[in-house]
Amino acid sequence: MTTSEEPPRPAVLLLSGGMDSTTLLALAVTKGFLIHALSFRYGQRHDLEVQAAARAAERYGVLKHVVLDIDLKSFGGSALTGAGIIPKDRPIDEKEIPVTYVPGRNTIFLSYAMAWAEVLGSSDLFIGVNSVDYSGYPDCRPEYIESFERMANLATRAAVGGQRLVVHSPFIRMSKREIIELGISLGVDYSETISCYDPTADGAACGHCDACQLRRKGFAEAGATDPARYAAAAPT
């Protein structure tokens, strides 16, 4: 992290428009990084995420926001990219990999971020992965992120030149509650973030998918009100 004595450093930040990555953006801006935000359209069911990412990018004055279209649909294999039904009100079992897991997603995202960082001469990547509530996702685990970082430090021209790339994942061992508490202290407007895997056509959250359940639990534990708009049928 930079201190106020150092010149601002460019960084590439993966921005989905959800709670975690928006909080991450607020944190990285506070630390003085010059943010290059990267979002993806990857065949997910709705575009609201990317719209939320664009709003966050604007609000935090990122230097550049790139949205890449990538085609994960042609491989199939995930409920988030159209191959299955999104489960509702299921007990969140941290030992089981959810059907909403998208094979290779974080590796592909981080690979693009690494490529952009190299072009920019940046040695800092930010990703808002979180292993506590989503330990079912293999590519959210600390050992995975550490291994990606080691690989990235062999993959690039910068690495050959001795520049060390760091993958910052400050939330990886934090609970949703802790992330929300941090975000509130940083002034994050959570009404602008979207977490739901299956929102209504007008953008209301379903309240029943895994992501909604975890979000609501996090806000409840933090003793805060979730400003997300939920569909009428959602539990209160």
Q: Is 163 in the site for a second copy (CB under 8 A)?
A: no
Of 40 and 60, nearer to a second copy (C-beta) is 40
> Which one of 15-23, 26-34, 46-54, 111-119 is the stretch in contact with a second copy (CB under 8 A)?
111-119
| Rounded Cα distance, 208 and 144, in Å | 29
Instruction: Identify which of residues 99 and 234 has a Cβ nearer to a second copy in the complex.
Output: 99
What is the three-state SS of 166-193?
EEECCCCCCCHHHHHHHHHHCCCCHHHC
36 phi and psi, to 5 degrees? -110, 105
CB of 111 vs a second copy, minimal distance in Å: 4
Tell me how far, at minimum, the Cβ of 109 lies from a second copy, in Å: 9
**CA–CA dist 187, 153 (Å, integer):** 34
> Backbone dihedral region of 119: left (phi > 0), alpha (psi from -120 to 50 degrees) or beta?
alpha
Residue 63 near a second copy by CB under 8 A: no
Q: Which of 112, 110, 90, 113 is nearest to 100 (CA)?
A: 90
152 is a contact residue toward a second copy (CB under 8 A): yes
Task: Determine if 236 is a binding residue for a second copy (CB under 8 A).
Answer: no
Q: Is 115 in the site for a second copy (CB under 8 A)?
A: yes
CB of 84 to a second copy, least distance (A): 12
Residue 216 host element (H or E): helix 210-222
- Does the footprint of a second copy cover residue 66 (CB under 8 A)? yes
- Cα pseudo-dihedral 55, 56, 60, 62, rounded to 10: -80
CB contact at 8 A, 111 and 143: no
Q: How far is the CB of 63 from a second copy (least distance, A)?
A: 14
Query: Which of 84, 138, 227, 235 lies at the binding interface for a second copy (CB under 8 A)?
Result: 138
139 binds a second copy (CB under 8 A): yes
Residues that bind a second copy (CB under 8 A): 66, 68-72, 74-77, 97, 101, 103-108, 111-112, 114-116, 118-119, 138-139, 141, 143-144, 147-148, 150-152, 154-157, 159-160
